[in-house]
Amino acid sequence: MDSREIRARFLKFFEKRGHAIIPSSPLVPENDPSVLFNTAGMQPLVPYLMGTPHPSGKRLANSQKCVRTQDIEEVGDKTHDTFFEMLGNWSLGDYFKEDAIKWSFEFLTSKEEGLGLDPARLYMTVFEGNDDAPRDEEALEIWKKYMPENRIYFMSAKSNWWSPGDNGPCGPDTEMFYDVTERGLGDMTKEEYMAADDRQEVVEIWNDVFMEYEKKDGKVIGKLAMKNVDTGSGLERIVMAIQGKDNVFDTDLFAPIMEKIAQLAAIEIKDLRAQRIVADHIRTSVMMIADGVRPSNTDQGYILRRLIRRAVRYADVLGIGKGMLSELVPVIAEKYKGIYDNVAEAEGTIVKEIWEEEEKFRKTLERGTKELTTLLARGSVSGVDAFTLFSTYGFPIEMTEELAAEQGVTVDRASFDAEMKKHQELSRAGAEQKFKGGLADSSDKTTALHTATHLMLAGLRKYLGDGVHQAGSNITEERLRFDFTYPQKVERDVLDKVEAYVNDAIAKGCVVDKAQMKKEEAKAMGVEGSFWEKYPEEVTVYTVKDGGEIYSQELCGGPHVESTGAMGRFKIVKEEASSSGVRRIKAILE
C-alpha cells in the first residue's frame, strides 16, 4: 500500500463513520500568532475544541500539513522529519473513549477497510494518573477488549499527557506503537518495551488524546465544558510501518527524493545522514513556499532560510552542484498532486525561491566559511563574531553553532542573543521613528518602496478591478505594508501578475512626474486616490510613465524616486486578510 492509498483509506474509514472530511489548513496558522507553523492536526481546531461549534459538525477528520523544527538536529536518523502530515479524527463533544479506541484498533488492523497491521506487533500506553487527572482505567478496560493486558503499559504525564502549549485544551492520551523489527519483539515487560522504544524498534503510530481538560499558563485548571477526542497519526510513520521499512526515508514518500539526490550527487553517496537531511529540508521548504512563506530573517521566513541554507551545506558534502537543489522540486510536487495541488501549481515560484536563496547564500558562503575557519582556529566564537557571521554572511546562528560544535568549539550564544536584541531594538527604534515621521522619512529605500506602492496599487486595480482602493499604508526601510479594499483572497497567480506589472515598470526605467493641479481636474483625469476630502484644493499628482505609457497616476504628497530604474526587484511576500473587506499585502524590494 502506498502513502496515497493509506491517506485515502483513513479518510474513507472515518467518513463512513459520520465524520466530515475537512481540508488541511495552510502550514502557517491563519489566526494564531502564538505558533509559527501548525504542529499538529488539532492546532487549527483549537477554538472548536474549546466550545465554538464547527460549521461541519461534531465529527471531523483530515490530513493536516504540519511542521516541527525543534528536533531539526535529529533529522537524519530513522524517524525524524521536519514536515509531516498528520491524519486525525475528532469528536467535538460527541463520541469519547469507547469509540475512539475501537476505531483506532479497527483501522490499524482491518484488512478490508484499514491497514491490516498485525495485532501481535502492536503495543499500547495509557495514562498512569497524577494530581491533574486520575489513572486511565477506563482506557485500559477498553483496550483489553482488543489486546492482551501485558502489552498495555501505564505511563506518566511526560509521555501520555498531550497539550499543544501552555494554554488551551489538553488531556491524557493513549498511544499506539508498532514493532518494526524483522524478528518480531513478542511480549515485553514495561522496561523491555521502553528500551525497544529507545532503540526505535517500536514506533509511535497513533495517539488518541481525550481532551476534556484545559491548561492556563502551563497549569491544568480544570475540565472543559465538553469531552473531546483528538487523534493524530503521523502519516510518514504509519507508511513506514505498512511498507515494512525501518526508516521513513525508504518509504514511497521519500524514496523518489532520495533517488533524485543520488542522481544529482557527483559521487557515490556514503553519507546517508547528509542525503536524508537534504531530502527532508528541501521537502519542507517546498511545502512552506507553496503555502506562501518566503526566506527572510524573521519568523517563518527565518526557519525556511535556515532549512534551505542547511540543505545547501549538506548538498556540498554530497557533491551536488550549484543550483541543482531546485531540481528536487518537481519530484516533490508530483507526490502531492491531487492532494495538495497548490504545490504543483506553484512549482515555478518554488524553484525560483530555492534557487535564489541558494544563490544568495553562496555569494557569501565562501567568505563566511573562511571567516569562521579563522575564528575556529582561534578556539572561540564570541557573540559579536557570530552576529557578524549572521548579519554579513547570512549564517543562521544555529548553523554557526553546528559548524563550531563539529570542531569542538562553543559559541557564546547568550552574547549573540544580546547582540541580536540590540540590533532589533535599533531597527525597531528606526521603524518607530519612521512611523512617527510618516512620509517625512525619505531614505532611499523607503522612497523606492513608496513608489513601488503606487505601482502595486495600479497593478492591483488593473487585475482586480476599479473597486480596489488604498485603505492604509505603512512603509519601513525593509518592506511595504499595504491595505486595500477587496472582498476576498487574492490568488497567487494574480499576485504574480501584479508583481510582473511592477517589475516591468522598474525594468523600463520609468520617469516619475510630479504635477500640481486642481483637485477637480485630477478627479476628472481619473487619477487614483483615497481620502480626497483630506487634500487641499490644489493637489500633487505623481505619474509613473514610460513615454506615453502610464503605469500609475496617483494623488500623493510624496516623496518618490525620480526614475524607477534603480529600485531593485519587487516581490509580494504575503497576502492576508486585514479586516472585513480589506486585504493586506507585504512586499519588498530586493
Residues that bind ligand SER (CB under 6 A): 40-42, 88, 162, 207, 209, 230-232
**Least separation, in Å, of the C-beta of 211 and ligand SER?**
8
Instruction: State which residue, 7 or 313, has the beta carbon closest to ligand SER.
Output: 7
Angle value at C-alpha 95, between 91 and 100, nearest 5 degrees: 80
**Least separation, in Å, of the C-beta of 86 and ligand SER?**
6
**Least separation, in Å, of the C-beta of 4 and ligand SER?**
22
**Least separation, in Å, of the C-beta of 306 and ligand SER?**
23
Instruction: State which residue, 240 or 278, has the beta carbon closest to ligand SER.
Output: 240
Instruction: State which residue, 230 or 528, has the beta carbon closest to ligand SER.
Output: 230
Nearest-CB residue for ligand SER: 232
CA distance linking residue 401 with residue 346, whole number of Å? 33
**Least separation, in Å, of the C-beta of 40 and ligand SER?**
4
Instruction: State which residue, 240 or 344, has the beta carbon closest to ligand SER.
Output: 240
Collapsing DSSP to helix, strand or coil, 493 comes out as helix
Instruction: State which residue, 230 or 554, has the beta carbon closest to ligand SER.
Output: 230
Instruction: State which residue, 232 or 368, has the beta carbon closest to ligand SER.
Output: 232
CA distance linking residue 359 with residue 351, whole number of Å? 12
Instruction: State which residue, 35 or 573, has the beta carbon closest to ligand SER.
Output: 35
Angle value at C-alpha 554, between 548 and 556, nearest 5 degrees: 135
* 193 in Cβ contact with 155 (< 8 Å): no
**Least separation, in Å, of the C-beta of 162 and ligand SER?**
5
CA distance linking residue 314 with residue 275, whole number of Å? 7
Using the CB atoms, write b or e for 410-427: b if 16+ within 10 Å.
Answer: ebbeeebeebbeeeeeee
Number of Cβ within 10 Å of residue 171's Cβ equals: 28
Residue labelled with grid coordinates 533517488: 259
Nearby residues of 121 by Cβ (< 8 Å), 6 or more positions away: 178, 179, 184, 185
Cβ burial, residue 556 (10 Å; 0-12/13-18/19+):
buried
**Least separation, in Å, of the C-beta of 25 and ligand SER?**
14
**Least separation, in Å, of the C-beta of 160 and ligand SER?**
11
Q: What DSSP state is assigned to residue 57?
A: -
Instruction: Return the closest-CA partner of residue 48 out of 171, 169, 210.
Output: 169
**Least separation, in Å, of the C-beta of 39 and ligand SER?**
8
* 203 in Cβ contact with 191 (< 8 Å): no
Nearby residues of 371 by Cβ (< 8 Å), 6 or more positions away: 388, 389, 393
Instruction: State which residue, 43 or 470, has the beta carbon closest to ligand SER.
Output: 43
Instruction: State which residue, 232 or 292, has the beta carbon closest to ligand SER.
Output: 232
